[in-house]
Structure 1
Amino acid sequence: MNMDTMKMDMMMRRNNNNNKRERNNNKESSNNDSNNKLRSVDLSCMSLESLPIPSLDLATISKLDLSNNNLQNIPESLTARLLNLTVLDVHSNQLRSLPNSIGCLSKLKLLNVSANFIQFLPQTIENCRALEELNANFNKLSKLPDTIGFELINLKKLSVNSNQLVFLPSSTSHLMALKVLDARLNCLRSLPEDLENLVNLETLNVSQNFQYLDTLPYSIGLLLSLTELDVSYNNIKALPNSIGCLQKLQKLCVDGNPLASPPMEVVEQGLHVVKEYLCHKMNSSEDKSSQHKKKSWVKKFVKCGTFQGRINGGRKRPQHEGFTKLKHQSIDGLASPGGFIGALSPLRIFSPRRSFS
Structure 2
Amino acid sequence: MTELTKHSHQKNSKYHYHLKSDKIYGDKKLKLCGKCIIPSNLSNDLKQLNKLTRNLNPEDEEESHPIDFNKDLIDFEVLDLTAERQSGLNLPLVFLPNDLFSFKQLKRLHLDCNMIRVIPDMLGDNLVSLEILTITSNLLQSLPNSLANLKKLHSIHLASNEFKQFPDVLCKIKTLRFLDLSSNKLESLPSMIGDLKNLESLLLFQNNLKSVPKTIGKLEFLRTLWLGNNNLNSLPYKITNLINLDWDDLNLTTNIDGNPLVDPPLEVCIKGLNSIREYYQNNNDMRN
**Are 2:169 and 1:171 equivalent residues in the alignment?**
yes
The alpha carbon displacement at 1:37 in A equals 11
For 1:236, which of 232, 237, 248 is the aligned residue?
232
Structure 2: distance between partners of 1:160 and 1:268: 26
The aligned counterpart of 2:5 is none
Q: Cα deviations across residues 280-307 of structure 1 (Å, max 9, x unaligned)?
A: 389x4x68xxx4xx6xxxxxxxxxxxxx
The alpha carbon displacement at 1:123 in A equals 1.0
The alpha carbon displacement at 1:58 in A equals 1.6
Q: Cα deviations across residues 243-280 of structure 1 (Å, max 9, x unaligned)?
A: 011111113311110001112452354443224435x3
Structure 2: distance between partners of 1:243 and 1:67: 40
Q: Cα deviations across residues 224-245 of structure 1 (Å, max 9, x unaligned)?
A: 1001111100101001111011
Tell which deviates more after alignment, 168-177 or 135-144. Answer: 168-177
Structure 2: distance between partners of 1:49 and 1:245: 49
Contact 1:213 1:236 in 2 (8 A): yes
Q: Secondary structure of 2:195's partner?
A: coil
The aligned counterpart of 2:35 is 48
**Are 2:94 and 1:87 equivalent residues in the alignment?**
no
Q: Cα deviations across residues 160-201 of structure 1 (Å, max 9, x unaligned)?
A: 101101122222112211111110001112222212221111
Q: Secondary structure of 1:194's partner?
A: helix
Q: CA 1:257–1:160 in 2, change beyond 3 Å: closer, same or farther?
A: same
Structure 2: distance between partners of 1:98 and 1:51: 11
The alpha carbon displacement at 1:54 in A equals 6.0
The aligned counterpart of 1:66 is 54
Larger radius of gyration: 1
Matches within 5 A, 1:200-279: 200-209=198-207, 212-251=208-247, 252-267=254-269, 269-278=271-280
Q: Which has the higher strand share?
A: 2
For 2:106, which of 101, 105, 108 is the aligned residue?
108
Contact 1:195 1:220 in 2 (8 A): yes
Between the two proteins, the alignment pairs up a number of residues equal to 236
Q: Secondary structure of 1:43's partner?
A: strand
The aligned counterpart of 1:130 is 129
The aligned counterpart of 2:63 is none
Structure 1: distance between partners of 2:198 and 2:260: 30
Tell which deviates more after alignment, 164-173 or 115-124. Answer: 164-173
Q: Secondary structure of 1:196's partner?
A: helix
User: Percent identity between the aligned chains?
Assistant: 33
Q: Secondary structure of 1:103's partner?
A: helix
Contact 1:44 1:65 in 2 (8 A): no
Structure 1: distance between partners of 2:17 and 2:267: 57
Structure 2: distance between partners of 1:137 and 1:268: 28
Contact 1:207 1:232 in 2 (8 A): yes
Contact 2:122 2:146 in 1 (8 A): no
Structure 2: distance between partners of 1:247 and 1:185: 26
* TM-score (normalised: structure 1): 0.59
The aligned counterpart of 1:325 is none
Structure 1: distance between partners of 2:144 and 2:221: 26
Contact 1:164 1:186 in 2 (8 A): yes
Q: Secondary structure of 2:205's partner?
A: coil
Q: CA 1:114–1:68 in 2, change beyond 3 Å: closer, same or farther?
A: farther
Structure 2 runs not aligned, ≥5 long: 1-11, 23-33, 58-72, 85-91, 248-253
Structure 2: distance between partners of 1:242 and 1:184: 22
Structure 2: distance between partners of 1:268 and 1:67: 39
AA of the residue aligned to 1:254: I
Superposition RMSD in Å: 3.1
The aligned counterpart of 1:162 is 160
AA of the residue aligned to 2:117: Q
AA of the residue aligned to 2:276: V
Q: Secondary structure of 1:124's partner?
A: helix
Structure 1 runs not aligned, ≥5 long: 1-35, 70-81, 295-357
Contact 1:196 1:223 in 2 (8 A): yes
Q: CA 1:268–1:153 in 2, change beyond 3 Å: closer, same or farther?
A: closer
Structure 2: distance between partners of 1:161 and 1:107: 25
Q: Secondary structure of 1:221's partner?
A: helix
